Amino acid sequence: MESGKTLQYWSVWYPRAAATGVLLARGAVDPVDSILFHAAPDVVTVEVSDAHGRRLAFGQDLPATLSSPICRFSIQGEQVVREDIWPTEDDLGSVVLLPGGEAGILKSWWNAEDHREWRWQTEFYNRLD
């Protein structure tokens, strides 16, 4: 990410833990319309905001749609929607957010036909100014 660029902040919460939920990840990325997330629980709440804290999109209590290791959060208007997926070649180059907030780029994905095993590579890049 280049210095001076506008960033989006994607926050993913597990709403069924503790008194008010537990933050799973908060990652800063270049603006995108969708992001992949690894190891999402059965339900999540997602907020996308700008660098000034203004909410751009929100999705509350988004349920799992499929048993898979990756889900896609997409911005549709002011809403965030969730779709659990098995990535394909079309997803290569997508931003992946990991629990904890580290964001990278999906470089490769393979899974067995029975979905019992998978292998993937993600690239991470950081720069301190």
For residue 60, the model assigns a pLDDT of 97
For residue 1, the model assigns a pLDDT of 40
In a domain, 51, yes or no: yes
pTM, two decimal places: 0.92
In a domain, 1, yes or no: no
In a domain, 96, yes or no: yes
CA distance between the termini of the chain: 10
In a domain, 100, yes or no: yes
Percentages of the chain per state (helix, strand, coil), in multiples of 5: 0, 55, 45
Number of domains in the chain: 1
d(CA 129, CA 30): 16
In a domain, 101, yes or no: yes
Going by the DSSP 8-state scheme, the letter that residue 120 receives in this structure is E
For residue 128, the model assigns a pLDDT of 75
In a domain, 129, yes or no: no
Give the structural domain span for 16: 8-123
In a domain, 113, yes or no: yes
List, for the chain, all residue ranges whose pLDDT scores fall below the cut of 70.
Answer: 1-4, 129
